[in-house]
Amino acid sequence: MQGLWPAFLPAADGEAITWIGPLRPFQAEWRIRVTWFWRTDERPYVQLLDPPLRPREGTEHAEIPHLIYFDKNPALSALCLYDPDGGQWDPRMLIADTTIPWTADWLKFYEFWLYDGIWRGKSVGPESAAKVRA
């Protein structure tokens, strides 16, 4: 990712490759972590590091749209960037060309949602874990 996203710093172990770096899709700059377990067909797992993931005032994390919701520690939930059943990503695709731009789009929609509660991005299925529970 050094060519397209030079500020993203990589780290690897025997199981995963991780990149940490900044994105500024709209107003705020976000520091994100992308983790990809490259030995599997699992999609990359993207988390907000700084500022951390937070709900709108007066709501809870489960109401944040389009998360891979982690019930035990909601602040560590991952971003749901595409429909996993729609064939939009597979391990042959470059994360720099897919996951990072999709994350920038997600963050732009998240910033608007924090402001007015309206999610402007495309969606498939329930918008949030709270709506699934309801």
Compute mean pLDDT per 10 residues along the chain, 134 residues long, and list them.
78 92 92 92 91 92 91 91 81 90 95 93 74 72
Amino acid at 119: W
State residue 133's pLDDT score.
Answer: 73
In whole angstroms, what is the distance from residue 8 CA to residue 80 CA?
20
State residue 117's pLDDT score.
Answer: 93
State residue 32's pLDDT score.
Answer: 97
In whole angstroms, what is the distance from residue 23 CA to residue 4 CA?
12
In whole angstroms, what is the distance from residue 119 CA to residue 127 CA?
9
DSSP state letter for 119? -
The answer to whether the Cα torsion of 26, 3, 11, 85 is positive or negative is positive
State residue 72's pLDDT score.
Answer: 93
State residue 103's pLDDT score.
Answer: 96
Q: Which residues contact 64 (CB under 8 A, 6 or more apart)?
A: 53, 55, 77, 110, 113, 128
State residue 123's pLDDT score.
Answer: 76
